[in-house]
Amino acid sequence: MAGTKFAYVRNFELPDPLLPDVFLVCRLDGHSFHRFSDEHGFVKPNDERALQLMDHAAKSLMSEYNDIVLGFGESDEFSFLLQKRTNLYNRRHAKILTTLTSYFTSCYVFNWPRYFPDTPLRYPPSFDGRIVVYPTEQAVRDYFAWRQADTHINNLYNTVFWALVQQGMQSTTEAHANLRGTVSAMKHEILYSRFNVNYNDLSARFRKGSVVVREEISPPSEPKAQNSSAEKPSRVKKKVKIRTHVEILHCDIIGDEFWGARPNILSQ
Amino acid sequence: MAGTKFAYVRNFELPDPLLPDVFLVCRLDGHSFHRFSDEHGFVKPNDERALQLMDHAAKSLMSEYNDIVLGFGESDEFSFLLQKRTNLYNRRHAKILTTLTSYFTSCYVFNWPRYFPDTPLRYPPSFDGRIVVYPTEQAVRDYFAWRQADTHINNLYNTVFWALVQQGMQSTTEAHANLRGTVSAMKHEILYSRFNVNYNDLSARFRKGSVVVREEISPPSEPKAQNSSAEKPSRVKKKVKIRTHVEILHCDIIGDEFWGARPNILSQ
Amino acid sequence: MAGTKFAYVRNFELPDPLLPDVFLVCRLDGHSFHRFSDEHGFVKPNDERALQLMDHAAKSLMSEYNDIVLGFGESDEFSFLLQKRTNLYNRRHAKILTTLTSYFTSCYVFNWPRYFPDTPLRYPPSFDGRIVVYPTEQAVRDYFAWRQADTHINNLYNTVFWALVQQGMQSTTEAHANLRGTVSAMKHEILYSRFNVNYNDLSARFRKGSVVVREEISPPSEPKAQNSSAEKPSRVKKKVKIRTHVEILHCDIIGDEFWGARPNILSQ
Amino acid sequence: MAGTKFAYVRNFELPDPLLPDVFLVCRLDGHSFHRFSDEHGFVKPNDERALQLMDHAAKSLMSEYNDIVLGFGESDEFSFLLQKRTNLYNRRHAKILTTLTSYFTSCYVFNWPRYFPDTPLRYPPSFDGRIVVYPTEQAVRDYFAWRQADTHINNLYNTVFWALVQQGMQSTTEAHANLRGTVSAMKHEILYSRFNVNYNDLSARFRKGSVVVREEISPPSEPKAQNSSAEKPSRVKKKVKIRTHVEILHCDIIGDEFWGARPNILSQ
């Protein structure tokens, strides 16, 4: 058959397994979102609708792929942690990477009208992705700390910058020049003294980014019948399938509290 | 600054350059499209609208990424050839792979309503992707021949199968059983004798798949003024930027004719 | 200059860094040592001289490359553990792998006459090598347990097999047939009842393989002068460079004792 | 059995196949040969014995591994070309790389006494290796041209440098300073005018490096009996196994002549 003669070309498809027993972090970034946000009139410095759309796509992705145990997003990027022992697609690198990237993109476009009902998409947005392998719990925690520290740095800068431009009537060039070399405390001070803004009163979504987790759903209280059925104790021991629900938080993930409360994220 | 302390995690991002001077083929496949086509009422064995939507996404991708010199699609898959010397994203594997996969997905969802005006998307579709490296022109030609031979085999089978089911009133199990072991000529014969269908009269899109190429646009005839400006002959020699247009064909790409007429595809 | 025009070929040399912060195990195996041992009259089932030569090469390798923290050898193979944080050759895969393989080979040939003074090398022996990446301490321990368990299995089999052949006057075919399906206890029993050999009395080198470690050298007692210099206490705190010596043991490395006594192997 | 429980560690051994149908170049480099040549009294700028030993090792390697179709060496490095279609060790990267590196090293040490009968090896020398993949004939030719151009550049420099030091009584610092910025013609001139040396009269081995090829062995003239057996013409057609012999040349491999005369090197 015709197919057979050409099928040797499959020999060029080389295997690409990811190392077993290490954490996988998949990070997606919006492609040319500077232009995309301009073309679609995103509010500066933060567009609540655009961030909610990103969160929605992340939540959908995690609902579809149970092996993702944590998500963290800011601006036009999102990182996802796959559990150490995941055997998703036999840990084939390209298969995992492209499937997650594609589904996230699809969710973003699919749900656009819900968040931008009056702003039709002018052209199709896209994301690039990469998978980074982390061998230790510490490195995973530091990865997410790195992203959240980045959120803080960027958001503080952007908040002052746009205040100078939008309310201070500076040109963007002037605003950048004024901020050059300023440390964090000085930026807080500019916001407070010139614009009467207390940075810490801003929305936690803007300051902390979005943390997507699976939270356990409290089981409904046990039906009485079961308690009274003392004659079948063995059944009580059956493994209870814990039901979870994907939730979005805007909390600190640099300190220990978040991780201490959710030991499953790293131990699975 | 907080970011600095954690930034070491970037050391885990290892380089992934693709070998220079080899052809890159990126193949995208619909994820669970069997279910997707059922849920969205795709016509069997071929849904003209769905194929046109795939073609549209492919055309958009090639219009956006000039380094793609050929596309070939059938059913829910599409393959794209990047020219040997492409330096797209410095030939970084994950960057190229995810960007193309994401943009194609985005175009598919974005353009859905144009082809399915009465069938809203029920959920976000997705695609997986892979890049395969081919070192020789022969291997590239054989790769595309392999896909088109596959198109033929699948389409012939599906055409007879659905004729048996839809017009022959067979169950799908019966139809599969009847076709087991039949060679190509027998399938043609069944179509002709039982359903009065000449397979070769079917739409070329179904039989040959979709071939996406850049065709040169004939330049408009030279304005007279330029010819008369005899004093500036050197300008006439300036390199003419050839303008191209992405077109969709449904022709044979197994034989030599297609390639002979388009030497640029492999020589670039 | 002529060199410049061709130097582009270096672009084909792609980077090959190993993941940071994971253990590296380099395993070397004799190439066609079945024939090599025959040609050089190795004593069966174990040739003390040949094993000592392997040990010597391993010791030399570890003396030259301080980042190797453990070696384990049996028969014609040796495994070496590089510490997690090694930055040897910037963790370039091929560079580390080939340098270790080459130096080990060189030491083997160089030291041959010391162990085989009456048997000149008839042809150059060689080894192949591979590096395997292990992310966790458990996996490293299990790797070495795997090799030592293999030593045990092979040595018990070979010991009985050669007793049947050499003392029992069986052909090799008969001996293999007799041993087929026998479990460990049965092999011990054959040795004891037929050849009056208590397996556990055999040399530990044969039963346990060779474990190569760095043991701390006790520093010489402090010279008095230093104790009396009470006026310079700060100097006493200077970091003492611990001197080590590469040693060969034939002990169990499957249980906890070995590792518990040498926490540095895994923690470095 | 104990082995089974630990055998999961083999899952960490990931596949490393090299791309099919591309040329493989394996380059070996002496490790710290600056020191090695000093310790063993190599003649400067070129030690005939040391070069012959390298050639011997290369020849042995090519006699052992038929898939190597070309070797080129200079100083303490050697490059080997494996034919495009080689299936040596199923094209496993580490296996091929380490086996060639190890065997070459072994041959070097093994044959040392033949070339340095009065200079015992003081310590074991080693080599590192790498495999580079080349997809086209042009790239392979340019790779070898790059190495031979390098031989020329280095040898010319070293020849003048050591003449200045050994005969000109300059310190090495002075000699380097004098040569800084000189082009090729100036170096020729210094050699000729100051030391009466015509560079082109130097040994071709020094100027061109060593080219190792398989040359066909002329079959002995046909025995008459065969010619007369006119009744069995079919036997004459049987495929003649061409016998080859590994030879060392010191010729130009940058121009077309060498390759034109040996089309098999690139076409196999």
Distance of CA A17 to the CA centre of its chain: 24
Q: In what order do the strands lie in the sheet with A210-216?
A: A127-134, A23-30, A77-82, A68-74, A210-216, A244-249
| Residue among B57, D70, B79, B154 nearest A12 (CA) | B79
- Of the listed ranges B80-94, B206-220, C90-104, D152-166, the least confidently predicted one is B206-220
pLDDT at A227: 46
Q: Quick: pLDDT tens for A95-138.
A: 999 999 999 999 999 999 999 999 999 999 999 999 999 999 99
pLDDT at D229: 46
Q: Which residue of C has its CA nearest to B22?
A: C12
| Residue among A31, A251, A21 nearest A144 (CA) | A251
pLDDT at B216: 84
Which helix (H) or strand (E) segment holds residue B72: the answer is strand B68-74
Q: How confident is the model at residue D217 (pLDDT cuts 50, 70, 90)?
A: confident
pLDDT at A218: 73
Q: Say if residues A72 and A78 touch (Cβ distance below 8 Å).
A: yes
Rg of chain D taking only CA atoms, in angstroms: 23
Token readout for B227 is 């010819």
Q: Say if residues D56 and D115 touch (Cβ distance below 8 Å).
A: yes
State the average pLDDT over residues C25-50.
97
With an 8 Å Cβ cutoff, the interface of chain C facing chain B consists of 11-12, 14-15, 17, 19-21
Chain D residues whose CB is inside 8 A of the B139 CB are 21
Chain A residues whose CB is inside 8 A of the B149 CB are 1-3, 6
pLDDT at B124: 98
| Residue among A180, A196, B1 nearest A188 (CA) | A196
AA identity, residue A130: R
Q: DSSP string spanning C201-264?
A: GS-HHHHH-EEEEEEEPPPPPPPHHHHH-TT-HHHHTSPP---EEEEEE----SSHHHHHH-TH
Q: How confident is the model at residue C218 (pLDDT cuts 50, 70, 90)?
A: confident
pLDDT averaged over every residue in chain C: 92
Exposure string (b/e) for B253-265, b if CB count within 10 Å is 16 or more? bbeeebbeebeeb
> To probe the interface with B, which of C8, C11, C84, C92 has the most B CB atoms within 10 Å?
C11
pLDDT at C238: 55
Cβ within 8 Å, pair A19-D12: yes
Q: How confident is the model at residue A238 (pLDDT cuts 50, 70, 90)?
A: low
pLDDT cut 90: percent of chain B above it: 87
Candidate from A124, A134, A142 with C-beta closest to B106? A124
Q: How confident is the model at residue D147 (pLDDT cuts 50, 70, 90)?
A: very high
Angle, in degrees to the nearest 10, between helices C184-195 and C137-166:
30
Sign for the CA dihedral angle at A204, A206, A208, A211 comes to positive
Characterize the bridge pairing of strands C127-134 and B23-30: unpaired
C-alpha B169/C-alpha B163 separation (Å) is 9
State the average pLDDT over residues C138-150.
97
pLDDT at D239: 60
Cβ within 8 Å, pair C105-D105: yes
Is pLDDT of B30 > 70?
Answer: yes
CA distance B75 to chain C (A): 36
CA distance C10 to chain B (A): 10
> To probe the interface with B, which of A106, A141, A142, A152 has the most B CB atoms within 10 Å?
A106
For chain A, the domains span 16-148+204-217+240-267
Strand partners, B127: B30
Is pLDDT of B226 > 50?
Answer: no
Q: Quick: pLDDT tens for D3-23.
A: 579 999 999 999 999 999 999
Burial class (CB in 10 A: 0-12, 13-18, 19+), C245: exposed
For residue D266, count other CB atoms closer than 10 A to its CB.
Answer: 18
DSSP B42: -
AA identity, residue A141: R
CATH classification (class only), C14-137+203-217+240-267: alpha beta
Distance of CA A93 to the CA centre of its chain: 20
Partners of chain B (3+ Cβ pairs below 8 A): A, C, D
For residue B231, count other CB atoms closer than 10 A to its CB.
Answer: 7
Q: Tell me if the domain spanning A16-148+204-217+240-267 has CATH number 3.30.465.10.
A: no
Chain A residues whose CB is inside 8 A of the B121 CB are 110
Q: Which residue of D has its CA nearest to C112?
A: D110
3-state helix, strand, coil in chain A (%, to 5): 50, 15, 30
For residue B116, count other CB atoms closer than 10 A to its CB.
Answer: 17
Q: DSSP string spanning C39-65?
A: HTT--SS--HHHHHHHHHHHHHHHHH-
State the average pLDDT over residues D131-154.
97
pLDDT at C78: 98
State the average pLDDT over residues B121-130.
98
Is pLDDT of B95 > 80?
Answer: yes
Candidate from D11, D12, D17 with C-beta closest to A14? D17
Q: Say if residues B211 and B248 touch (Cβ distance below 8 Å).
A: yes
C-alpha D129/C-alpha D79 separation (Å) is 9
DSSP B57: H
pLDDT averaged over every residue in chain A: 92
pLDDT at D243: 84
State the average pLDDT over residues C151-165.
96
State the average pLDDT over residues D217-223.
65
Chain C residues whose CB is inside 8 A of the A133 CB are 19
Q: Quick: pLDDT tens for B240-265.
A: 667 889 999 999 999 999 999 999 99
pLDDT cut 70: percent of chain B above it: 90
Q: Which residue of B has its CA nearest to C19?
A: B12
Partners of chain C (3+ Cβ pairs below 8 A): A, B, D
State the average pLDDT over residues B92-117.
98
Q: Quick: pLDDT tens for C219-261.
A: 666 555 444 444 444 544 556 667 889 999 999 999 999 999 9
Distance of CA A78 to the CA centre of its chain: 4
For residue B112, count other CB atoms closer than 10 A to its CB.
Answer: 22
Cβ within 8 Å, pair D124-C103: yes
Q: Quick: pLDDT tens for A53-89.
A: 999 999 999 999 999 999 999 999 999 999 999 999 9
Sign for the CA dihedral angle at D169, D172, D174, D178 comes to positive
pLDDT cut 90: percent of chain A above it: 87
Q: Which residue of A has its CA nearest to D8?
A: A20
C-alpha A157/C-alpha A183 separation (Å) is 10
Is pLDDT of A226 > 50?
Answer: no
pLDDT cut 70: percent of chain A above it: 90
C-alpha B7/C-alpha B14 separation (Å) is 14
Candidate from D19, D136, D139 with C-beta closest to B133? D19
pLDDT cut 90: percent of chain C above it: 87
> To probe the interface with D, which of B18, B22, B266 has the most D CB atoms within 10 Å?
B22
Cβ within 8 Å, pair A98-B143: no
Angle, in degrees to the nearest 10, between helices B93-115 and B48-64:
140
Q: In residues, how long is chain C?
A: 268
B-C contacts (CB, under 8 Å): 17
With an 8 Å Cβ cutoff, the interface of chain B facing chain D consists of 19, 21-22, 133, 135-136, 139
Q: DSSP string spanning D75-140?
A: TTEEEEEEPTT--GGGGBHHHHHHHHHHHHHHHHHHHHHHH-TTS--SS---EEEEEEEE-SHHHH
Which CATH architecture fits B16-140+203-217+241-267? 2-Layer Sandwich (3.30)
Burial class (CB in 10 A: 0-12, 13-18, 19+), C263: exposed
Q: Quick: pLDDT tens for B205-223.
A: 999 999 999 998 876 665 5
pLDDT averaged over every residue in chain D: 92
CA distance D143 to chain B (A): 14
CATH homologous superfamily, domain D16-145+204-217+242-267: tRNA(His) guanylyltransferase (Thg1) (3.30.70.3000)
Is pLDDT of D78 > 60?
Answer: yes
Q: How confident is the model at residue C82 (pLDDT cuts 50, 70, 90)?
A: very high
Is pLDDT of D175 > 60?
Answer: yes
